[in-house]
Structure 1
Amino acid sequence: MDIAPRSAPSPRTPATHLEIEPSILYFGTPVTLLSTENQDGSFNLAPMSSAWALGRTVVLGLGREGQTARNLGIRPDVVINLPAPAQWPAVERLAPLTGRNPVPATKAEGFRFEPDKFGAAGLTAEPSHLVRPPRVAECPIQLEARAERVEPDVSGGFVIVEAVVHKVHADSRIVVPGTDHIDPAAWSPLVYNFRHYFALGPELGHTYRSQTPRSPNDSAAEQALAGTAHH
């Protein structure tokens, strides 16, 4: 039996809010692939979805018992690779794998040790310029960075990493020609939304601080917003 998809609530429809206790709060964040260096000089690759940028610093939230957290606590070099939406199967191939051997008891059931994460995901390691871990060649955006601070979070189950970005690599097809700007109309991150993978939808508008060209849809969106404000 076909089930029609549920449409998003209209902004003009009064909301009825329920008090709920969701098991997770991944309310729509970009997926990243973190490449770090293991103790034996090999490299680990791990997916994660708790990352945000503040200037040239990217804040990462990691499980305390994972190989990535262990690596960054000793060897601070890291590449923050941003996959495109079509690469979600490669991300999911990494999801049940860990670089820890033996597998930590805190890992969810179904995890297994895998020393060759790049090979298991079907991804290509590409040399970095400033840090030791390789970049993921297939990812449109790659950030070479170093972890300057690695601290436990308030719960004790995670660590918070502040990584300073030293070099940015971007696929030429998503860069505004002749500039250093990512073209937001050409780039969509892979978004992790309550353990489901999504891409961005159509552009709705832009902030007044945007340095990229205006979208043809902007004027229509602004008119619609103005019309809503008058009601």
Structure 2
Amino acid sequence: MNPERHVVVEPSVLYVGTPAYLIATENADGSPNLAPASSYWALGRMLVLGIEVDGQTAANLLERPDITVNFPSGDLWRALVRLSTLTGRDPVPDDKRRRYRFEPDKFRAAGLTPHPSDLVSAPRVLECRLQFEARVRRATPGLDGSYLMVEAEVLRVHADPAILDPSGEHIDPTIWNPIVYAFRHFFERGAQVGWLASSPTAPHPPIIE
């Protein structure tokens, strides 16, 4: 590729494309809190989540480490938008007052249903077809102090049987995919273009010529 084809840009966000998710935590009074997020990666059974420090989610998980991480399908994008201007913090932090308002029942406000978990105190999101029960093992402040790098161990995975492969053990990525958040837009993943030889659901090893 000709390097002269590139120009220097200053995008306001660097979300090239990560899955959007809904993280549920437990408030001090036992009620649930729900928030959308999109900074996410996983290695083995460990998740690393980027969570803003001034929200109720961060306050909750530092005190009560049980969480659930729920992955919405494309039809639930409106719930993410409804939640995007709500906070469970009362009073609303100064930095959020221009955009956010306090909402004590964010499940109701988003049109979603809390569902009991098996191993953690935080509820799952019934409408999400893939749900992780997890427990926070470490939360590390980010360099600028505005976010936490949250490491959470997945204790149990719940999946809609309709998104599993014939073995019933693996999520079939050709059947279902989460919402992908890229540059403040929501997408459903496009057509498959290839796979790794290590894929447990691929029909055969990749053919590379």
Check whether TM > 0.5: yes
- C-alpha separation in 1, matches of 2:178 and 2:31: 28
Give the equivalent residue in structure 1 for 2:41. 52
Give the equivalent residue in structure 2 for 1:119. 108
Counting only pairs closer than 5 Å after superposition, residues 1-231 of structure 1 correspond to structure 2 as 14=2, 16-107=5-96, 109-214=98-203, 222=207, 226=209
Structure 2: gaps spanning 5 or more residues:
none
- C-alpha separation in 2, matches of 1:146 and 1:139: 19
Residue 113 of structure 1: CA displacement? 0.4
Secondary structure of 2:77 counterpart: helix
Secondary structure of 2:30 counterpart: coil
- C-alpha separation in 1, matches of 2:108 and 2:182: 26
State TM-score, norm by structure 2. 0.95
Between 110-119 and 15-24, report the one with greater CA deviation.
Answer: 15-24
- C-alpha separation in 2, matches of 1:87 and 1:160: 26
Q: Once superposed, which parts of structure 1, at least 4 consecutive aligned residues long, lie more than 4 Å away?
A: none
Residue 93 of structure 1: CA displacement? 0.7
Amino acid at match of 1:173: A
Amino acid at match of 1:32: Y
Residue 213 of structure 1: CA displacement? 3.3
Structure 1: gaps spanning 5 or more residues:
1-12, 227-231
Amino acid at match of 1:87: L
Can you list the C-alpha shifts for 1:187-223, whole angstroms capped at 9, x where unaligned? 11101110000010000010111111328xx97xx4x
- Structure whose alpha-carbon radius of gyration is higher: 1
Can you list the C-alpha shifts for 1:143-189, whole angstroms capped at 9, x where unaligned? 00000001101121111100000000001010112331100101111
- C-alpha separation in 2, matches of 1:108 and 1:203: 42
Residue 92 of structure 1: CA displacement? 0.8
Q: Is the 8 A contact 2:113 2:125 kept in 1?
A: yes
Amino acid at match of 1:112: R
Identity of aligned residues (%): 51
Give the equivalent residue in structure 2 for 1:6. none
**Length, aligned pairs only:** 208
State the superposition RMSD in angstroms. 1.5
Q: Is the 8 A contact 2:39 2:50 kept in 1?
A: yes
Residue 63 of structure 1: CA displacement? 0.6
Q: Which has the higher contact order (CA 8 A, sep 6+)?
A: 2
Residue 106 of structure 1: CA displacement? 1.9
CA distance change for structure 1 residues 24 and 149 in 2, over 3 Å: closer, same or farther? same
- C-alpha separation in 2, matches of 1:177 and 1:70: 41
